[in-house]
Structure 1
Amino acid sequence: MSTIKPKRLQPGDTVSVIAPASPPNQENLDRGIEFLRELGLKVKVGKNVTRTFGYLAGTDNERLEDLQKMFFDPIVKAIFFACGGYGTGRIASQIDYQMIKSNPKIIWGYSDITFLHTSIRQETDLVTFHGPMLASDIGKADTHPLSKEGYKQLFEPTNLTYTEEISPLETLVEGVASGPLVGGNLSLLVSTLGTPYEIDTKGKLLLIEDIGEEPRAVDRMLNQLYIAGKLETVSGILIGDFCDCTPKKGLSLSLDEVINHYVKLANKPALKGFLIGHCNPHFSVPLGVPAIINTFEKKLKVESGII
C-alpha cells in the first residue's frame, strides 16, 4: 500500500469530537472544544460522548457508531478524540476499514487510541496523529503552549524537528536510523500482539511511552515485544515519556535499567527523553510518515502528515 495523507484543515472547516474509549471530564472537554473554535473550526460532537457504561463512554456499538458516522460524514474533515482510558481495542474488529480508506481524514489522539492508530494505519495505510487530547490535555488550565501549538501542523504541511531545545535527549545506542514512525502507548502496542492488528515494526522507527506502570510491568511488556521479534526488526527506537512509572514498594530495578536493557538487546539507534506521551508539554507527531533519528546530533525529523 502507498501512504494516504489526509487533507489539511482550513478555517471554517467542520471537525468532530468523539470518545471511543472512556468518558471524558465534561468541563475539560468544553474548554477543549472552545480551543478548536478559537482555531477557526466548527465542531460537531458525537451524540454518545456524554454516555457512560462503566469505564467506557457508552457501549461498544455506541462508540463504534460515533466513529464510523464521523468518517462517513463528508462535512467532517477531522476526528479529535476527547480522551483515552480503556476500550478502543474492543471495537477494532467491528470497524469498516474500507469505508475509512475511502473517506480519509485527520485522526488525532494518543494513549488508548494507540490501538486505533495501529489498526487503522495497518488496514488502510492512513496517516494518523499522536497528539494531546481535548479533555485530558488541552482543556486543563495548566496546558503548555507547546501542546496547543502542535495543532498548527494540521493547517499547513510542516516537517517537524525535535531537538534538545525542547527537552534533553539521551543516546542509548548510537547511530542514524530512518523509516515510518509508528507506535505509541506500550501497553496498547503489546495488546495488539496475536490479533489481526499486531504492530508491524519491521524497518520502522518505534515510539513507546506509558503511564502508571511499574518497572516490572514495563519489563514484562518490553520482554514480550522482544520475544515476539518486534524489537530486533525496528530501524530505531524513540523513548517517549513514561509518566509515574516508578516502583511503588519492595525491591525493584529502575525504569532506566529496564528500558536500557531491552534497547541494548535490540541494538538499534535509540534516543530517550522525548516529551511525547502523558506529559505537559506534549509534542505532537504524525504516525506512518517517514522520519529519521540521528543520535550524534540528538535530533528527530518527521515528514508532514497532511497534504
Structure 2
Amino acid sequence: MDSVKPHALVPGDTIGITAPASWGDREKTEAAAAYLEQLGLSVKFGETLSRRYGYLAGTDEERAQELNAMFADPDIKAIICARGGYGTGRIADLLDYDCIRANPKIFWGYSDITFLHTAIRSRTGLVTFHGPMIICLTDKDIHPLTLKSFDQLIRPDRMVYTEKISPLHTLVEGEARGPIVGGNLSLLVSTLGTPYELDTKDALLFIEDIDEEPYRVDRMLNQLRQAGKLSDAAGILVCDFHNCEPKKREASLTLTQVLEHHIAAAGKPALAGFKIGHGSPNITIPIGVMADMNTNEKKLECLELAVAD
C-alpha cells in the first residue's frame, strides 16, 4: 500500500476528539482539551465521550460510526483520541477505509489505539501518529516533552531522536532504514491472524507496553518471533516498558534478559531506551514515515515530514 500523508494543520482548524475504546470523564477531557485551543485550534467533541457500554465508550457501532463521521466531515481536519483502554479491535471491521483514504487526516493516539494504527495503515497507507492522548493532559505533572509533542499539530518537523532526549543503548549493532511501524506490544500481537496483521517487512519496528510481567513480554515477543515479525524487520526500537517488573513470580527472568534474548536472536540492528509509550515523557512518533536508525550514532531520524504541505 502506497503511503498517504495527512494534510498539515493551520491555526483555526478543528480537531475532532473521540473515544474509540474505553470511556473517560467528559468534563475532564473538555478541560484538558483547552490546551489545543491555546495552540490556536478549535475542538469538536464526539458523543462517545458521554457514552458508556460496560468498559466501552458506547457500542461498537456507535464508536465506529463516530470515527467514520469525523473522517468524512470536511470541517474536521484532525482526530485525536481521548484515551485508550480496550475496544479498538472490535471496531476495525466497521470502519470505512475508502473514506479514510479519500480524506487523509491526522489521526493521533497510542496504547489500545495501536490496533487502529495498524488496521488503518494496512488498508489505506495513511501516516498516523503514535502520541499522547487528551487524557494525558489531565496529568498535573505532565512532562514538558509530552506537552511539546502536541506542538507537532501546528509546527510539524522531522523527528530526530538522540540521547539529548534519553539515554539509548545498543542491543544489536548496525544501521537500518525503513518505514516506522509498531506500537503497544500487546495490541500488535492481537493483530496476528487477523485481516489487519502487523506488517514489519523491511520496516523499523518499535514496541512498548505497560504493567506486563517479564514472562508475558516473553510470550508476546516469542509469538512475534514465530510469526516472522522480528526477522522481517529492518531494525527494532525498544521503547518504554513501564512498570514491567515481576509481580506474581519470585523466580523470574528480568525484562532486560527477555528483551535481549528475543531481539539479539533476530539479529537486526536494535536500540533501546526510547521514551515512547506509557512512561514519561511520551514522545510522539509518526507511523509510516521513512526513517534511519544508527546504533553507532545512537540516533533515530525521520527522513521526511509526516504531513503533506
TM-score (norm 2): 0.97
Who is 2:147 aligned against?
148
Q: What is the CA-CA distance between 1:3 and the residue it aligns to?
A: 1.1
Distance 2:267 2:28 in 1: 42
1:43-192 pair list within 5 angstroms: 43-135=43-135, 137-192=136-191
How much has 1:52 moved relative to structure 2?
Answer: 1.0
RMSD: 1.0
Contact between 1:291 and 1:300, CA under 8 Å: does it hold in 2? yes
Aligned-residue offset at 1:28: 3.6
Work out whether 1:284 is the aligned partner of 2:284: yes
Q: Post-superposition shift, 1:32? A: 2.3
Contact 2:110 2:131 in 1 (8 A): yes
Runs (5+) with no aligned partner, structure 1: none
**For residues 157-180 of structure 1, what are the alpha-carbon distances to aligned partners after superposition, in whole Å with 9 as ceiling and x for unaligned?**
411111111100010000000100
Give the letter aligned to residue 144 of structure 2: P
Q: Map 1:260-299; keep pairs closer than 5 Å.
A: 260-299=260-299
* CA–CA distance in structure 1, aligned partners of residues 53 and 271 of structure 2: 40
Question: Shift in Å at residue 280 of structure 1?
Answer: 1.4
Query: In structure 2, what residue type is equivalent to 1:254?
Result: T
Name whichever of 79-88 and 295-304 sits farther off.
Answer: 295-304
Percent identity of the aligned residues? 58
Report the AA paired with residue 306 of structure 2: G
Q: Distance in 2 between matches of 1:27 and 1:176?
A: 46
Report the secondary structure of 1:7's partner residue.
Answer: coil
1:226 equivalent to 2:232? Answer no
User: How far apart in 1 are the matches of 2:177 and 2:94?
Assistant: 33
CA contact (8 A) 1:286 1:304 kept: no
TM-score normalised by structure 1 residue count: 0.98
2: CA distance, partners of 1:27 / 1:166: 33
Alpha-carbon separation, structure 1, partners of 2:66 and 2:78: 13
Counterparts of 1:77 and 1:296 in 2: how far apart (Å)? 39
Paired letter, 1:304: L
Matched, 1:305 2:306: yes
**Higher alpha-carbon deviation: 149-158 or 185-194:** 149-158
Structure 2 Cα separation of the partners of residues 227 and 161 of structure 1: 31
The 5 A counterparts of 1:209-220 are 209-220=208-219
How many angstroms apart in 1 are the aligned matches of 2:15 and 2:252? Answer: 46
Residues in 1 aligned to 2:28 and 2:47: alpha-carbon distance in whole angstroms: 18
Tell me what 1:26 maps to: 26
CA contact (8 A) 2:161 2:300 kept: yes
What is the identity, as a one-letter code, of the residue corresponding to 2:291? A
**Displaced runs of 4 or more, over 4 A:** none
Residue 30 of structure 1: CA displacement? 2.4
One-letter code aligned to 2:214: P
Amino acid at match of 2:220: M
Q: Separation in 1 of the partners of 2:269 and 2:215?
A: 24
Deviates more, 1:107-116 or 1:28-37: 28-37
CA distance in 2, matches of 1:201, 1:87: 23
**CA-CA distance at 1:27 after TM superposition:** 4.6
Partner deviation per Cα, 1:26-83 (whole Å, 9 max, x = no partner): 3541232111111111111011211111111111011111101100100000000000
2:261 maps to a residue whose letter is: H
Cα separation, 1, equivalents of 2:128 and 2:32:
20
Distance 1:206 1:231 in 2: 8
Gaps spanning 5+ residues in structure 2: where? none
Kindly state the Cα deviation for residue 156 of structure 1 after the two structures are TM-superposed: 3.5
Give the SS at the match of 1:273: strand
